[in-house]
Protein backbone atom coordinates (compact mmCIF):
# COMPACT_ATOMS: atom_id res chain seq x y z
CA UNK A 1 0.00 0.00 0.00
CA UNK A 2 1.28 3.44 -0.87
CA UNK A 3 -0.02 6.86 0.06
CA UNK A 4 -0.66 9.05 -2.96
CA UNK A 5 1.02 12.43 -3.19
CA UNK A 6 -2.04 14.21 -4.49
CA UNK A 7 -4.47 12.67 -2.02
CA UNK A 8 -5.81 14.49 1.00
CA UNK A 9 -4.96 13.02 4.40
CA UNK A 10 -8.51 11.67 4.65
CA UNK A 11 -8.21 9.90 1.31
CA UNK A 12 -4.86 8.36 2.18
CA UNK A 13 -6.28 7.28 5.53
CA UNK A 14 -9.06 5.55 3.61
CA UNK A 15 -6.40 3.65 1.63
CA UNK A 16 -4.76 2.61 4.87
CA UNK A 17 -8.11 1.51 6.27
CA UNK A 18 -8.82 -0.65 3.23
CA UNK A 19 -5.39 -2.24 3.63
CA UNK A 20 -5.77 -3.12 7.32
CA UNK A 21 -9.34 -4.31 6.78
CA UNK A 22 -7.95 -6.93 4.41
CA UNK A 23 -5.67 -8.14 7.16
CA UNK A 24 -8.31 -8.25 9.96
CA UNK A 25 -11.64 -6.46 9.41
CA UNK A 26 -12.81 -6.77 13.02
CA UNK A 27 -9.61 -5.39 14.54
CA UNK A 28 -9.59 -2.69 11.84
CA UNK A 29 -13.07 -1.63 12.93
CA UNK A 30 -11.94 -1.35 16.55
CA UNK A 31 -8.92 0.70 15.45
CA UNK A 32 -10.92 3.14 13.35
CA UNK A 33 -13.77 3.42 15.85
CA UNK A 34 -11.23 4.72 18.35
CA UNK A 35 -8.69 6.46 16.13
CA UNK A 36 -9.76 9.87 17.41
CA UNK A 37 -8.28 8.96 20.80
CA UNK A 38 -4.84 8.65 19.19
CA UNK A 39 -4.97 11.47 16.65
CA UNK A 40 -4.45 14.32 19.08
CA UNK A 41 -3.19 17.75 18.04
CA UNK A 42 0.26 17.80 19.60
CA UNK A 43 3.64 17.98 17.93
CA UNK A 44 4.96 15.10 20.01
CA UNK A 45 2.12 12.70 19.30
CA UNK A 46 -0.28 11.32 21.91
CA UNK A 47 0.74 11.17 25.56
CA UNK A 48 1.08 7.91 27.44
CA UNK A 49 -2.28 8.69 29.09
CA UNK A 50 -3.94 9.09 25.67
CA UNK A 51 -2.56 5.71 24.59
CA UNK A 52 -3.96 4.27 27.84
CA UNK A 53 -7.40 5.66 26.97
CA UNK A 54 -7.11 4.20 23.49
CA UNK A 55 -6.26 0.78 24.93
CA UNK A 56 -9.24 0.96 27.29
CA UNK A 57 -11.48 1.44 24.26
CA UNK A 58 -9.68 -1.39 22.43
CA UNK A 59 -10.30 -3.71 25.41
CA UNK A 60 -13.98 -2.81 25.31
CA UNK A 61 -14.09 -3.54 21.57
CA UNK A 62 -12.31 -6.87 22.01
CA UNK A 63 -14.70 -7.84 24.84
CA UNK A 64 -17.67 -7.15 22.57
CA UNK A 65 -15.99 -9.19 19.85
CA UNK A 66 -15.53 -12.11 22.27
CA UNK A 67 -19.15 -11.91 23.46
CA UNK A 68 -20.38 -11.90 19.87
CA UNK A 69 -18.23 -14.95 19.11
CA UNK A 70 -19.56 -16.77 22.20
CA UNK A 71 -23.15 -15.94 21.24
CA UNK A 72 -22.75 -17.42 17.77
CA UNK A 73 -20.87 -20.55 18.90
Partner 1 sequence: MTRYFLGSLTIEGFRGINNDGDPLVLKFKADAVNSIHAPNGVGKSSIFEAVHFAIYGSVPRLKALQDAEQGDSYIVNKFHPGQQATIDLVFRSDDGSPEIAIRVTRSGNGARVVSSPSGHPHPEDFLASLQEDFVLVDYGRFAKLIDISALERGRSFASLVGLSQYSRLRQAFEGAKRTQNINSDLGLSALDTEVKTSERALSAIERRIVAAHDAVAGAGGAAINKLADLKTAVTSALSAIALLKPLVGGGSVMDLDFEAAEKAVEKEEGGEARKKLDGLTTAVTSLSTVALADGDIADLDRLVGLAITRDEAINRVGAHKLHALLKDALAIVGGSDWHDPKRCPICEAQGEEPLRPKLEARIAEYDAAAELGAELVKEAITSVGIAKVRQLEDTAAMAIGTADRLHVAFDLAIKKGEVTTADLERLKTRLDELEKLRARSLERVQREASALQANLPPSLVQVTRTLSLAKQFRDAVIEFETTAPPLAVKQAKLALLNRWKTFIAKAAQTFADAETALANKRITEIQTTCQDLFGRLVRGGPDVRPTLTRAQNSENVDLKLADFFGLSDLSARALLSESYRNAVAAAVFLSAAMKHSCVPRFMVLDDVTSSFDAGHQFALMDALRTQLRHGAVPDGLQFIILSHDTSLEKYFDKLNGTTDWHHQKLQGMPPKGRLMVSAQEADRLKAQAQQHLNAGQVDIGGPFLRQYLEYKLGQIISKLEIPVPPDYATRGDKRTLSTYIDAITEAVALYQAAGRCVLSGQQISDLQTHHAPSIVGNFVSHYETGAGTPFNAYALLGVLQSIDNLADCFTYVDQASSQKRYYRRLDKR
Please pick, from the candidates 11, 18, 33, 39, the single residue that binds partner 1 as defined by CB under 8 A. 39
- Please report whether residue 5 would count as binding partner 1 according to CB under 8 A: yes
- Please report whether residue 71 would count as binding partner 1 according to CB under 8 A: no
- Please report whether residue 29 would count as binding partner 1 according to CB under 8 A: no
Query: In terms of Cα–Cα distance, which of 37, 72, 42, 39 is closest to 58?
Result: 37
Shortest gap between Cβ of 40 and partner 1 (angstroms)? 7
- Please report whether residue 72 would count as binding partner 1 according to CB under 8 A: no
Please pick, from the candidates 11, 14, 18, 24, the single residue that binds partner 1 as defined by CB under 8 A. 24
Q: How far apart are the first and last CA of the chain?
A: 35
Amino acid sequence: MEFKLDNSFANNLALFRAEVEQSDPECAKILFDNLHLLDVETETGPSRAAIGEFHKAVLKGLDELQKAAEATS
